[in-house]
Amino acid sequence: MKLIKQANSAHVLDTDDIQILFSYETPVAVWIVGSHFLVTETDYSRTTTGHINHFVRDRTYKQNVGLTLAKNDQVEFVPQERINDALKETV
């Protein structure tokens, strides 16, 4: 398990099978590697929206250069509680 800095106030918790994006101190998106994204449907700031967009876009780009993202990865907008539950299951 490792913590990766994405931006000044954005970090990604990486456990190899799952990555969770934190914007400031809030988990806001999950990537189940090779499967799909879960993104909070809660409206946060422009900065947090930018963090989410960067998180998804960066991993989608990797698909185009043949890395780990599966071609059928989808983005599913879910209640914040589902993101929180994914975090609880991971740690």
Residue burial 7-16, b: 16+ Cβ < 10 Å; e: rest: eeebbbbeee
How many domains is the chain built from? 1
**What is the three-class DSSP state of 89?**
helix
What is the sign, positive or negative, of the torsion defined by CA atoms of 60, 1, 43, 48?
negative
Task: Give the model's confidence band at 67: pLDDT under 50 very low, under 70 low, under 90 confident, else very high.
Answer: very low
* Structural domain span for residue 65: 2-90
Which tops the pLDDT comparison, 83 or 7? Answer: 83
Average the pLDDT over 2-25 and give the result: 94
